[in-house]
Structure 1
Amino acid sequence: MAGITLLYVLGTRYQWFTDSPASDSVYLLALAVGAYSLTVALKHAFGLPRPPGAATATAPSWIPALGHAAYESMVTGDGFGFPSGHALKTAVVYGGAAFALDVWDRPRRLAVAGLLAVLVAASRIFLGVHYTVDVVAGALVGVVFLAAAIRLTGQRPARTLAISAVLAGLAFATSGTAKTGFALAAAAVGFVVWTAADRLPVGAASGER
């Protein structure tokens, strides 16, 4: 989410990698919510465990005591393990960015997105918080979800938010957690606001009189 916010800020100020910073940011945010919601729904559907010891870690001695909690949150995992949420979400968000942004050419953007997704997926195995099958399945599901989202929405934020709201509703019904409830609210409110903004006259939307 922080990266998407930074994309909006830099895109608005410099516009060297996107001509539509608001649209692209909302689109990627919608993809992130959809990927997260799909992950939660699938994890609860399969209910498969993580590797032994995935929920525990000991911080190295060179990390100050104040940083132990942050370190442990990054290198441990709890809850169900299949599919890997990190692998799924990075495939969706980085892949979505490769299609949405204008910097470089698309093959190069896809190559960078693929490399980042592979590194993230490999790190989850290296840290011992996922089995190999978890990250492979997560990456494959992410690629399929992204392809379907692009095909169904034409990379339009409102349509992507609608799909994400449906998936978030499924995730909330499955898990009932506060995070999935927040995801549902964010996608639903985002859909309403973005749809309303799209219907405004161009002058009104830009603040012209």
Structure 2
Amino acid sequence: MTRGIGETEFVSRLPEAVTAVAGLVTQLGDMWFVLLGVCAVFVLGARYRSLTDSPASDCVYLLALTLGAYSLTAVLKHFFALPRPPGAATATPPAWIPELGRAAYESMVTGDGYGFPSGHALKTTVVYGGAALVLDVWDRNRRLAVAGVLTALVAASRVVLGVHYVVDVAVGVTVGVLFLVAAVRLTDRRPTRALALSTALGGVAFATAGTLKSGLALSAAAVGLVVWAGTDGFRGFRIDSTRS
């Protein structure tokens, strides 16, 4: 029994150029890009105080949210164990893609493992939504609007690529919103609490899924918690002590 609503047939008729663009857009939700963005918060925040008053605190907080979102996704995917759309793990690069770029193209437009819910949609919702809440640039409504647009683009790209059904990304966004709201209330935007939450989720994810990636997420959260708490929030940086 499929959970699709006809999107697989629709996207199969889209031009190759649309798929290529979707492959680029979906990078906004890839772990490498998200982690790079989190690091950019620290680097740019330390240089431009209009971005954030607490660059290290906000960076660590967003990192904790990222790890927590990944671990939550791993738990849910393992629990539901629902497959991706047919052909999600394979792709034929267009003729205009150079030989050297074919492997990169395939990695950008394919997906493997379980498909429900969408990890990209969930993680993007949590990280970009979290950034909208903690950063100081613009006003909050505008930040939330930008986060919403980015999340929608990433979610749509996953369907266009044929690696998720619409319900996968819809549930991913919904769970992401619920997780973000719960995390903000439970942690009060304090990195130590956020890292503790992510460590707990990482432990559950590793105990259930038992994958290398879930183990790395658990290790990163646990090490981050020990380092952050042990250094009182990276002493030496101008960090608001009420958020450590």
Common fold, TM-score beyond 0.5? Answer: yes
Of 97, 109, 131, the residue aligned with 1:97 is 131
Corresponding residue for residue 69 of structure 1: 103
Could you tell me the TM-score, scaled by structure 2's length? 0.81
TM superposition shift of 1:137: 0.3
Tell me if the contact between 2:117 and 2:169 (Cα under 8 Å) persists in the aligned partners: yes
1-structure distance, mates of 2:59, 2:104: 27
Corresponding residue for residue 180 of structure 1: 214
2-structure distance, mates of 1:92, 1:199: 22
Gaps of 5+ in 2: 1-34, 238-244
Which aligned runs of 4 or more in structure 1 are off by greater than 6 angstroms? none
Instruction: List aligned pairs for 1:17-36, cutoff 5 A.
Output: 17-36=51-70
TM superposition shift of 1:60: 1.7
Residues 88-129 of structure 1: per-residue CA shift (max 9 Å, x gap): 000000000000000000000000001110110011011110
Corresponding residue for residue 169 of structure 2: 135
SS at match of 1:138: helix
CA RMSD across the alignment: 1.3
TM superposition shift of 1:199: 7.6
2-structure distance, mates of 1:194, 1:8: 15
- Percent identity, please: 69
Residues 40-95 of structure 1: per-residue CA shift (max 9 Å, x gap): 11000000011001111111222222211211111111110000000000000000
Instruction: List aligned pairs for 1:1-209, cutoff 5 A.
Output: 1-198=35-232, 205-206=235-236
Letter in 1 for 2:48: Y
2-structure distance, mates of 1:33, 1:199: 18
Could you tell me the TM-score, scaled by structure 1's length? 0.94
Structure with higher RCO (Cα < 8 A, 6+ apart):
2
Letter in 1 for 2:82: L
Kindly tell me the number of residue pairs found equivalent between the two proteins. Answer: 203
2-structure distance, mates of 1:39, 1:105: 30
Shift in CA distance, 69/10, structure 1 to aligned 2, threshold 3 Å: same
SS at match of 2:232: helix
Letter in 1 for 2:41: L
Gaps of 5+ in 1: none
Tell me if the contact between 2:57 and 2:233 (Cα under 8 Å) persists in the aligned partners: no
SS at match of 2:133: helix
